[in-house]
Amino acid sequence: MNSGSNAAGPSVAELQDLARRGRAHVIRSIAHAKGGHIGGPLSAMDMLVALYFKAMRIRPDEPDWPDRDRFVLSKGHSAIALYTVLAMRGYFPLEELNTFDAIDSRMQGHPDMTITPGVDMSSGSLGLGFSGSLGIALGARAAGKDFDTYVILGDGECNEGIVWEAAHVAQRYAVDNLVAIIDHNKLQQFGWRADAPGKRKPPYTGSQLVDRWTAFGWKVMEMDGHDMAQILPTIEEARDYRGGPVAIVAHTVKGKGVSFMENDYTWHARVPTPEERDLALAELGEPVSTTAAGGAA
């Protein structure tokens, strides 16, 4: 494994501010595109910022650098969060977020490795990205490369059988150049009916997710997926762990950062009205604007 963490990079406070701005880009992008997912991108934002601005060894001006760390967004429907962070990191102009879901755009609804700079693996059919990330990690070993691979899965995504096929194989091969982060926001698109009106049950309750990954032979860590001061050292410790694969169960809030979206399953893929958009931007401390990158259309 490499020790490529960007020690001289941004401070915790700066990373927190990047995540705040990233959330605003997500809100504006979805409102501008009048489509896309929103709750999941908001829950994953802090971890994406931590990876791309601190943890990962990358060259934004050389997206195909062979020795770069790899990242796979296995919960591919949160693509807008990845595009936002890639744009803020300099892979392409922020203005390109305005083309999200548009015809001929590099900002496809789900990540496409063939057209978007910085996207290391296509994903979208849930579970497949995780399997691909295992292939990258095993392939790196076979090819004698020292880069690390990071993957973010959704908690609902862990319903997929392929996740556990891959988890089993990763343990068999003691893959220790792969860090899986599970965005445990406790809601999936629809899920199981809960007793309370308007509520849905979480895909996994209590320690079920931790127990499952542990049972598959993974070292499991937990963190608050919104606390930058926890995210950074947890990812670093997971990266440096030897002897087997590591899963970080990140406790998160779906719709994090916008009060009326938090913990509400209906915001999985709902488009904010102009009023809701402006309200959300105000909560995030961002000026009202009608475009994804900020400013007027």
Partner 1 sequence: MTLANGKALRVAFGETVAELGKTDPRIVVLDGDLGSSTRADIFEAAHPDRFFQMGIGEQNEFGVAAGMASVGLVPFVSTFACFAVARALDSVRVLIAQPKLNVKITGGYAGLLAGMTGKTHLIFDDIAIMRAMGNMVVVAPADEVETRQAIVAIVDYEGPVYLRLTREASPLLFDDSYRFTLGKAVTVRPGGDVTVFGTGTQTVRAFQAAELLAAEGIEVNLVHLPTVKPIDEEAIVAAAQATGLVVTTEEHTIIGGLGGAVAEVLGERYPVPLRRHGLADTFGESGPDAALLEKYGISVTKTAAAIRAFVRARRT
Q: Which residues bind partner 1 (CB under 8 A)?
A: 66, 70, 112-114, 120-125, 127-128, 130-140, 142-143, 145, 161-162, 165-166, 168-169, 172-173
Cβ-based nearer residue to partner 1, 167 or 220: 167
Min CB(71)–partner 1 separation in Å = 12
Measure the CA–CA gap between 89 and 64, rounded to whole angstroms. 15
* Identity of the amino acid at 194: A
Cβ-based nearer residue to partner 1, 92 or 130: 130
Min CB(118)–partner 1 separation in Å = 14
Cβ-based nearer residue to partner 1, 99 or 133: 133
* Identity of the amino acid at 23: R
Q: Which of 258, 265, 294, 264 is nearest to 279 (CA)?
A: 258
Burial of 5 (0-12, 13-18, 19+ CB in 10 A): middle
Min CB(126)–partner 1 separation in Å = 10
Burial of 145 (0-12, 13-18, 19+ CB in 10 A): middle
By the 8 A CB rule, do 49 and 18 touch? yes
Cβ-based nearer residue to partner 1, 101 or 112: 112
Min CB(195)–partner 1 separation in Å = 34
Min CB(120)–partner 1 separation in Å = 7
Spatial CB neighbours of 143, under 8 Å, sequence gap ≥ 6: none
Could you give the residue ranges of the DSSP H alpha helices within the chain?
Answer: 12-33, 39-50, 79-89, 128-142, 161-172, 208-215, 228-240, 274-283
Burial of 11 (0-12, 13-18, 19+ CB in 10 A): exposed
Cβ-based nearer residue to partner 1, 177 or 289: 177
Cβ-based nearer residue to partner 1, 127 or 154: 127
Min CB(210)–partner 1 separation in Å = 22
Spatial CB neighbours of 159, under 8 Å, sequence gap ≥ 6: 126, 188, 203
Min CB(66)–partner 1 separation in Å = 8
- Could you give the count of Cα atoms lying within 13 Å of 41 in the half-sphere of its Cβ? 30
Q: Tokens representing 19? A: 């995540």
Cβ-based nearer residue to partner 1, 104 or 275: 104
